[in-house]
Amino acid sequence: MTYTTYYSSPLGKIILVSDGAALTELDFSEDVPAASVEHTQKDLPVFEEVSRWLDVYFAGRDPGALPPLAPHGTAFQQAVWKILRGIPYGTTTTYGRIAAHIAAARGGRMSAQAVGGAVGRNPISILIPCHRVIGTDGSLTGYAGGLDKKEALLRLEGVHLPPTAAETLRGVRMRGVAKPDAKKSLSPVNSTSTLQNAHGSLRGVPLPPVL
């Protein structure tokens, strides 16, 4: 049997789905297609745990240990999602780095595109933090909830993002400097120099073993 409830977040309403014991899905409700469920119950212990976790998270603090999670997916998807759960709060990594980690653990090759496909099918947003995976060039790339939500989640965690084009132009104009050359202001940002967190370089983030 499937159970659902909703959580009101600063970024919009979030739908929680459970099998009765663990959380199986979590997403922003406007991104979830209408679907029939067998039952709706709002007082499941796991829903209470997830709501408390989200309260702490949206207050701008690391909630720590996760509630029981049971995402459904293939063996490869599960391996990628396990790595996502190991990305520390307030840090980011890249699709390429995850691919290299899996390739080293299993032998052979692994493409960043394959990893991206598994990341994109993550059914439990935020708690399995697919928003912490960025492009090699520092770009935010895709996110099921929208890039605006991905950026908001990273900023909430204290990740230092490069300024948007609008922010760059506004800052320059406030200093009374002429409008910068478009090629310079909109050029790709090197993630190793700008996308850093309070703990230092992104490249030092340890990843869990691949089973």
Among residues 130, 140, 154, 202, the one annotated as catalytic is 130
Write the single-letter amino acid at 134.
I
130: annotated active-site residue = yes
Alpha-carbon radius of gyration of the chain = 19
Residues identified as active-site: 130
